[in-house]
Structure 1
Amino acid sequence: MDNERIIGQTKSVGFQIGLRRTFPISQEQAWALITTTEGVRTWLGEDTSVIFEPGYKFHSKTGTGEIRIVKPLEQLRLTWQKEEWSKPSTVQIRILPKERNKTTISFHQEHLSDQIVREEMKGHWESVLDLIKERVQNS
Protein backbone atom coordinates (compact mmCIF):
# COMPACT_ATOMS: atom_id res chain seq x y z
CA MET A 1 0.00 0.00 0.00
CA ASP A 2 2.88 2.39 0.76
CA ASN A 3 4.18 1.99 -2.80
CA GLU A 4 1.03 3.40 -4.39
CA ARG A 5 1.84 6.39 -6.54
CA ILE A 6 -0.18 9.53 -6.26
CA ILE A 7 -0.95 11.23 -9.57
CA GLY A 8 1.56 13.96 -10.24
CA GLN A 9 3.98 12.98 -7.48
CA THR A 10 7.62 12.35 -8.33
CA LYS A 11 10.52 11.01 -6.29
CA SER A 12 12.73 14.05 -6.75
CA VAL A 13 10.66 17.19 -7.49
CA GLY A 14 7.55 16.81 -5.35
CA PHE A 15 4.32 17.21 -7.28
CA GLN A 16 4.20 18.36 -10.88
CA ILE A 17 1.71 19.22 -13.60
CA GLY A 18 2.13 19.50 -17.33
CA LEU A 19 -0.35 20.71 -19.92
CA ARG A 20 0.01 21.48 -23.60
CA ARG A 21 -2.15 22.51 -26.50
CA THR A 22 -1.53 22.92 -30.21
CA PHE A 23 -2.73 26.09 -31.95
CA PRO A 24 -3.00 27.07 -35.64
CA ILE A 25 -0.31 29.75 -35.30
CA SER A 26 3.36 30.21 -36.08
CA GLN A 27 6.14 29.76 -33.54
CA GLU A 28 6.64 33.55 -33.54
CA GLN A 29 2.96 34.16 -32.80
CA ALA A 30 3.03 31.62 -29.97
CA TRP A 31 6.10 33.28 -28.44
CA ALA A 32 4.37 36.66 -28.61
CA LEU A 33 1.25 35.24 -26.90
CA ILE A 34 3.47 34.25 -23.96
CA THR A 35 5.98 37.11 -23.73
CA THR A 36 4.10 40.31 -24.56
CA THR A 37 2.74 42.37 -21.66
CA GLU A 38 -0.78 41.05 -22.31
CA GLY A 39 0.55 37.50 -22.64
CA VAL A 40 2.48 37.63 -19.36
CA ARG A 41 -0.63 38.88 -17.57
CA THR A 42 -2.50 35.84 -18.91
CA TRP A 43 -0.30 33.39 -17.05
CA LEU A 44 1.26 35.43 -14.21
CA GLY A 45 -1.64 37.74 -13.40
CA GLU A 46 -2.51 41.42 -13.68
CA ASP A 47 0.02 44.11 -12.85
CA THR A 48 2.92 41.85 -13.80
CA SER A 49 5.87 43.25 -15.68
CA VAL A 50 8.71 40.94 -16.63
CA ILE A 51 11.99 41.43 -18.46
CA PHE A 52 12.95 38.12 -20.00
CA GLU A 53 16.58 38.02 -18.92
CA PRO A 54 18.11 35.35 -16.68
CA GLY A 55 18.32 36.63 -13.11
CA TYR A 56 15.45 39.12 -13.46
CA LYS A 57 13.29 39.01 -10.33
CA PHE A 58 9.60 39.83 -10.70
CA HIS A 59 6.72 40.55 -8.33
CA SER A 60 3.01 40.39 -9.04
CA LYS A 61 -0.29 40.08 -7.22
CA THR A 62 0.00 36.30 -7.62
CA GLY A 63 3.53 35.90 -6.29
CA THR A 64 7.22 36.33 -6.94
CA GLY A 65 9.85 34.63 -9.03
CA GLU A 66 13.04 34.77 -11.01
CA ILE A 67 13.70 34.23 -14.70
CA ARG A 68 16.25 31.41 -15.09
CA ILE A 69 16.44 30.47 -18.79
CA VAL A 70 15.36 32.37 -21.90
CA LYS A 71 15.68 30.73 -25.32
CA PRO A 72 13.79 33.07 -27.66
CA LEU A 73 10.99 31.40 -29.62
CA GLU A 74 11.60 28.14 -27.73
CA GLN A 75 11.68 28.13 -23.93
CA LEU A 76 11.26 30.04 -20.69
CA ARG A 77 12.21 28.62 -17.31
CA LEU A 78 11.53 30.48 -14.08
CA THR A 79 10.78 30.10 -10.42
CA TRP A 80 7.36 31.16 -9.17
CA GLN A 81 6.11 31.27 -5.61
CA LYS A 82 2.67 32.33 -4.50
CA GLU A 83 2.50 34.15 -1.15
CA GLU A 84 0.87 31.21 0.60
CA TRP A 85 3.45 28.66 -0.63
CA SER A 86 6.36 27.65 1.60
CA LYS A 87 8.77 27.23 -1.32
CA PRO A 88 9.04 28.25 -4.98
CA SER A 89 7.99 26.05 -7.87
CA THR A 90 9.74 25.81 -11.22
CA VAL A 91 7.77 26.67 -14.36
CA GLN A 92 8.92 25.77 -17.83
CA ILE A 93 7.13 27.06 -20.92
CA ARG A 94 8.03 25.54 -24.26
CA ILE A 95 7.05 26.63 -27.75
CA LEU A 96 7.12 23.57 -30.00
CA PRO A 97 6.64 24.15 -33.74
CA LYS A 98 4.85 21.24 -35.41
CA GLU A 99 4.59 22.42 -38.98
CA ARG A 100 3.96 25.70 -40.72
CA ASN A 101 1.35 27.63 -38.70
CA LYS A 102 0.88 24.84 -36.17
CA THR A 103 2.59 25.23 -32.79
CA THR A 104 2.25 23.61 -29.37
CA ILE A 105 2.48 25.70 -26.21
CA SER A 106 3.50 23.60 -23.22
CA PHE A 107 3.41 24.52 -19.52
CA HIS A 108 5.20 22.31 -17.00
CA GLN A 109 5.41 23.11 -13.30
CA GLU A 110 7.30 21.14 -10.66
CA HIS A 111 8.29 21.42 -7.00
CA LEU A 112 4.63 21.78 -5.99
CA SER A 113 4.06 20.96 -2.32
CA ASP A 114 1.06 18.61 -2.53
CA GLN A 115 -1.92 17.29 -4.50
CA ILE A 116 -4.07 20.28 -3.59
CA VAL A 117 -1.58 22.78 -5.02
CA ARG A 118 -1.14 20.52 -8.06
CA GLU A 119 -4.90 20.57 -8.72
CA GLU A 120 -4.99 24.34 -8.22
CA MET A 121 -2.21 24.82 -10.77
CA LYS A 122 -3.77 22.33 -13.18
CA GLY A 123 -6.88 24.52 -13.18
CA HIS A 124 -4.74 27.63 -13.61
CA TRP A 125 -2.84 26.29 -16.65
CA GLU A 126 -6.06 24.96 -18.22
CA SER A 127 -7.56 28.46 -17.89
CA VAL A 128 -4.41 30.00 -19.38
CA LEU A 129 -4.59 27.66 -22.39
CA ASP A 130 -8.30 28.48 -22.80
CA LEU A 131 -7.49 32.23 -22.79
CA ILE A 132 -4.75 31.69 -25.37
CA LYS A 133 -7.23 29.74 -27.51
CA GLU A 134 -9.69 32.66 -27.31
CA ARG A 135 -6.97 35.12 -28.34
CA VAL A 136 -5.99 32.94 -31.29
CA GLN A 137 -9.62 32.59 -32.43
CA ASN A 138 -10.23 36.35 -32.12
CA SER A 139 -7.11 37.46 -33.96
Structure 2
Amino acid sequence: MTVGETKDAGFQIGVSRTLPHPRERVWDFVVSPEGLALWLGDLGDAVRLTPGKGARYTTAGGTTGEVRSFREYDRVRLTWRPRDWDHDTTVQVAVSGDGGKTVLRFHQEWLADAGERSQQREHWRAAMDRVTAALG
Protein backbone atom coordinates (compact mmCIF):
# COMPACT_ATOMS: atom_id res chain seq x y z
CA MET A 1 0.00 0.00 0.00
CA THR A 2 0.99 3.61 -0.66
CA VAL A 3 1.11 6.44 1.91
CA GLY A 4 -2.45 7.55 2.63
CA GLU A 5 -4.01 4.35 1.28
CA THR A 6 -6.11 2.20 3.58
CA LYS A 7 -7.57 -1.23 3.16
CA ASP A 8 -11.07 -0.08 4.14
CA ALA A 9 -11.47 3.47 2.77
CA GLY A 10 -9.14 3.81 -0.20
CA PHE A 11 -6.92 6.85 -0.23
CA GLN A 12 -7.64 9.40 2.48
CA ILE A 13 -6.35 12.68 3.86
CA GLY A 14 -6.86 14.51 7.11
CA VAL A 15 -6.02 18.03 8.22
CA SER A 16 -6.46 19.27 11.78
CA ARG A 17 -5.66 22.37 13.76
CA THR A 18 -6.10 23.44 17.37
CA LEU A 19 -7.93 26.75 17.49
CA PRO A 20 -8.06 29.17 20.46
CA HIS A 21 -11.87 29.22 20.58
CA PRO A 22 -14.57 27.27 22.43
CA ARG A 23 -15.99 24.28 20.56
CA GLU A 24 -19.44 25.87 20.30
CA ARG A 25 -18.02 28.95 18.55
CA VAL A 26 -16.05 26.84 16.05
CA TRP A 27 -19.02 24.54 15.35
CA ASP A 28 -21.51 27.39 14.96
CA PHE A 29 -19.15 29.04 12.49
CA VAL A 30 -18.33 25.98 10.34
CA VAL A 31 -22.04 25.18 9.87
CA SER A 32 -23.05 28.83 9.29
CA PRO A 33 -23.52 30.10 5.72
CA GLU A 34 -20.22 32.02 5.96
CA GLY A 35 -18.32 29.02 7.32
CA LEU A 36 -19.84 26.54 4.87
CA ALA A 37 -18.82 28.78 1.97
CA LEU A 38 -15.20 28.57 3.18
CA TRP A 39 -14.89 24.78 3.36
CA LEU A 40 -17.80 23.28 1.41
CA GLY A 41 -18.60 25.98 -1.10
CA ASP A 42 -21.32 28.56 -1.60
CA LEU A 43 -24.71 26.87 -1.23
CA GLY A 44 -26.54 29.69 -3.00
CA ASP A 45 -30.22 29.87 -2.09
CA ALA A 46 -29.99 26.80 0.15
CA VAL A 47 -27.65 28.79 2.48
CA ARG A 48 -27.37 25.96 5.04
CA LEU A 49 -26.84 22.23 5.12
CA THR A 50 -29.99 20.42 6.15
CA PRO A 51 -28.96 18.24 9.09
CA GLY A 52 -31.20 15.28 8.22
CA LYS A 53 -29.57 12.11 6.94
CA GLY A 54 -29.93 11.91 3.17
CA ALA A 55 -30.40 15.67 2.69
CA ARG A 56 -28.86 16.60 -0.66
CA TYR A 57 -26.84 19.70 -1.45
CA THR A 58 -25.30 21.36 -4.49
CA THR A 59 -22.79 24.20 -4.26
CA ALA A 60 -22.65 27.13 -6.65
CA GLY A 61 -19.45 25.55 -8.03
CA GLY A 62 -21.24 22.30 -8.88
CA THR A 63 -20.08 20.06 -6.03
CA THR A 64 -22.88 17.70 -5.01
CA GLY A 65 -23.48 15.30 -2.18
CA GLU A 66 -25.70 14.30 0.68
CA VAL A 67 -25.53 14.41 4.45
CA ARG A 68 -24.70 11.04 6.00
CA SER A 69 -24.75 12.17 9.63
CA PHE A 70 -24.99 15.44 11.52
CA ARG A 71 -24.25 15.45 15.23
CA GLU A 72 -24.48 18.97 16.56
CA TYR A 73 -21.30 20.29 18.22
CA ASP A 74 -19.49 17.10 17.19
CA ARG A 75 -19.33 16.23 13.47
CA VAL A 76 -20.95 16.33 10.08
CA ARG A 77 -20.29 13.59 7.55
CA LEU A 78 -21.30 13.94 3.93
CA THR A 79 -20.58 12.70 0.45
CA TRP A 80 -18.61 15.14 -1.71
CA ARG A 81 -18.33 15.07 -5.49
CA PRO A 82 -17.00 17.99 -7.51
CA ARG A 83 -18.59 18.54 -10.91
CA ASP A 84 -15.59 17.15 -12.81
CA TRP A 85 -15.12 13.96 -10.74
CA ASP A 86 -16.56 10.56 -11.66
CA HIS A 87 -16.79 9.28 -8.07
CA ASP A 88 -18.07 10.24 -4.63
CA THR A 89 -15.82 10.72 -1.63
CA THR A 90 -16.75 11.10 2.01
CA VAL A 91 -15.86 14.22 3.99
CA GLN A 92 -16.09 14.53 7.73
CA VAL A 93 -15.75 17.79 9.63
CA ALA A 94 -15.33 17.30 13.37
CA VAL A 95 -14.77 19.49 16.40
CA SER A 96 -13.50 18.38 19.80
CA GLY A 97 -12.18 20.03 22.92
CA ASP A 98 -13.17 21.69 26.12
CA GLY A 99 -12.73 25.18 27.46
CA GLY A 100 -11.10 27.72 25.21
CA LYS A 101 -9.39 25.35 22.72
CA THR A 102 -10.94 23.28 19.96
CA VAL A 103 -9.48 20.83 17.48
CA LEU A 104 -11.07 21.23 14.04
CA ARG A 105 -10.57 18.31 11.66
CA PHE A 106 -11.30 17.86 7.97
CA HIS A 107 -11.04 14.25 6.83
CA GLN A 108 -11.73 12.91 3.34
CA GLU A 109 -11.76 9.27 2.26
CA TRP A 110 -12.44 7.26 -0.89
CA LEU A 111 -10.06 9.36 -2.96
CA ALA A 112 -9.16 7.81 -6.31
CA ASP A 113 -5.38 7.69 -6.01
CA ALA A 114 -2.24 9.26 -4.54
CA GLY A 115 -2.47 12.22 -6.94
CA GLU A 116 -6.01 13.06 -5.87
CA ARG A 117 -4.94 12.65 -2.24
CA SER A 118 -2.14 15.18 -2.74
CA GLN A 119 -4.53 17.61 -4.46
CA GLN A 120 -7.03 17.28 -1.61
CA ARG A 121 -4.36 17.76 1.05
CA GLU A 122 -3.73 21.22 -0.42
CA HIS A 123 -7.47 21.85 -0.75
CA TRP A 124 -8.15 21.07 2.94
CA ARG A 125 -5.10 22.98 4.15
CA ALA A 126 -6.35 26.04 2.27
CA ALA A 127 -9.88 25.53 3.65
CA MET A 128 -8.43 25.30 7.17
CA ASP A 129 -6.48 28.52 6.61
CA ARG A 130 -9.65 30.30 5.44
CA VAL A 131 -11.71 29.08 8.40
CA THR A 132 -8.94 29.92 10.88
CA ALA A 133 -8.53 33.45 9.47
CA ALA A 134 -12.30 34.08 9.52
CA LEU A 135 -12.58 32.99 13.15
CA GLY A 136 -9.81 35.49 14.01
TM-score by length of 1: 0.89
Contact in 2 for aligned 1:24/1:101 (Cα 8 Å): yes
* Distance apart, 1:47 and its partner CA: 3.8
Q: Which runs of 4+ in 1 moved over 6 A?
A: none
- Consecutive unaligned residues of structure 2, counting only runs of 5 or more, are none
Q: Name the CA distance, whole Å, in 2 between partners of 1:58 and 1:38.
A: 16
CA displacement 1:31-88 (0-9 Å, x = unmatched): 0121000111011122453222211100111410000101100011110111222210
Q: Name the CA distance, whole Å, in 2 between partners of 1:76 and 1:29.
A: 15
Q: Name the CA distance, whole Å, in 2 between partners of 1:84 and 1:78.
A: 18
Q: What aligned pairs does 1:38-77 form with structure 2 within 5 A after superposition? A: 38-48=34-44, 49=47, 50-60=49-59, 61-77=61-77
Contact in 2 for aligned 1:44/1:62 (Cα 8 Å): no
- Consecutive unaligned residues of structure 1, counting only runs of 5 or more, are none
What's 1:132 paired with?
Answer: 131
The correspondence for 1:29, drawn from 25, 30, 35, is 25
What's 1:105 paired with?
Answer: 104
One-letter amino acid of the counterpart of residue 94, structure 1: A
Change (3 A) 1:122 1:62: farther
Q: Name the CA distance, whole Å, in 2 between partners of 1:120 and 1:83.
A: 16
TM-score by length of 2: 0.91
Q: Name the CA distance, whole Å, in 2 between partners of 1:125 and 1:62.
A: 18
One-letter amino acid of the counterpart of residue 58, structure 2: H
Contact in 2 for aligned 1:45/1:62 (Cα 8 Å): no
Specify the SS of the correspondent of 1:76: strand
One-letter amino acid of the counterpart of residue 106, structure 2: F
One-letter amino acid of the counterpart of residue 3, structure 2: I
Q: Name the CA distance, whole Å, in 2 between partners of 1:29 and 1:107.
A: 17
Q: Name the CA distance, whole Å, in 1 between partners of 2:103 and 2:27.
A: 10
- Counting matched residue pairs gives 132
What's 1:93 paired with?
Answer: 93
Specify the SS of the correspondent of 2:6: coil
Contact in 2 for aligned 1:91/1:110 (Cα 8 Å): yes
